[in-house]
Amino acid sequence: MRVLGIETSCDETGVAIYDTDRGLLADALYSQVAMHAEFGGVVPELASRDHTRRLLPLIQQVLDEAGMARSELDAIAYTAGPGLVGALMVGASTAHGMARALAIPVLGVHHMEGHLMAPMLEDSPPDFPFVALLVSGGHTQLVEVRGQGRYRLLGESVDDAAGEAFDKTAKMLGLAYPGGPQVARLAETGDPKRFRFPRPMTDRPGLDFSFSGLKTHTLTTLKQLERDGQLDEQARADVARAFEEAVVDTLVIKCRRALDDTGLKRLVMAGGVSANARLRERLAHEAEKRSAQVYYPRGRFCTDNGAMIALAGARRLLAGERDAIGQMKAVPRWPMETLEPPA
């Protein structure tokens, strides 16, 4: 089955073609980062309009790269949620329109299930069961995964997600959007011994996260440095390093607890923050101490992309799942644990 995957949940337009026999045939991504950077964050209306402009040319691009005509597609999968409702509607309406014209099945896919499946695009994919750390811009979750659609939420952020905290800290430091890569780059020159920031919610049982207090502590530190006339470039780098170390330590501590609590030996990490080099290094070290394994997608599949949607959709389409004709889905809030296994 050759599945066209469409991802338009936020600020990246992703399209891919996945063949259930041959694997990924083609993928393309257009990022809106430059457009939104002027405003310091995603502007929903601008995101929707840009998806409308980019989506059809990207679909034609991946068809050309795969050497296929539209008539050779067997199904279409699109991101149905969670995400920005206007952006989701662009992908959903395009997918349903194409599917109706081609007389092929179409299916709305859960965005976070797509991230969960992204490491399975690699040559050595993880086997079920495993613990998943999902760390994207709007989500920080730990999930026990027994199979596709068999999810148990272990913990999640009660306020800001890790990606949001990175973006807001970057803004405090005068860095460009998106914040994660910018903070990590600045942190490389920071002194790890100058500041030690709190590791939130690690001094109590449980697997939930909270990053709003860490964000406030960062702001307080920066204001004190400014009052003391010490807020130079080195101080900014030192603060960035302390913030990054605190986020990474918190995520690692919670992952360690999740592996211990479930008794599992495989950890999957996905989402934009999973590209952080320090986080990957620390989790690999923790996994080695526990004779466990860590899996994550290559860099371009950490952020939102069409390939993960095509793969997640293909697995469900093969089981016979599909949207009813004319009933496209756009669900801004959609708990992943409400999903069911493919039939």
Token pair 């890790």 is found at: 162
CA-CA distance, 43 to 84, in Å (whole number)? 10
Give how far Cα 113 sits from Cα of 149, 150, 176, 248, 333, Å: 8, 11, 29, 23, 14
Query: Is 304 marked within a binding site?
Result: yes
Query: Is 137 marked within a binding site?
Result: yes
Query: Is 167 marked within a binding site?
Result: yes
Do 310 and 70 contact (CB within 8 A), yes or no?
no
In the DSSP assignment, the letter for residue 136 is -
Query: Is 11 marked within a binding site?
Result: no
Q: How far is CA 297 from the centre of its chain?
A: 11
CA-CA distance, 40 to 83, in Å (whole number)? 18
Judged by phi (left if over 0) then psi (alpha if -120 to 50, else beta), residue 151 lies in: beta
Query: Is 51 marked within a binding site?
Result: no
Nearest residue to 269 (alpha-carbon basis) of 206, 254, 93, 224 = 254
Query: Is 134 marked within a binding site?
Result: yes
CA-CA distance, 133 to 263, in Å (whole number)? 15
Coil, strand, or helix at residue 74?
Answer: coil
Do 279 and 270 contact (CB within 8 A), yes or no?
no
Nearest residue to 9 (alpha-carbon basis) of 100, 155, 137 = 137
CA-CA distance, 284 to 274, in Å (whole number)? 12
CA-CA distance, 207 to 187, in Å (whole number)? 26
Coil, strand, or helix at residue 330?
Answer: coil
Query: Is 139 marked within a binding site?
Result: no
Please state the residue numbers annotated as binding site for Fe cation. Answer: 111, 115, 304
Binding residues for substrate, as ranges, are 134-138, 167, 180, 276
Which residues are annotated as part of the binding site? 111, 115, 134-138, 167, 180, 276, 304
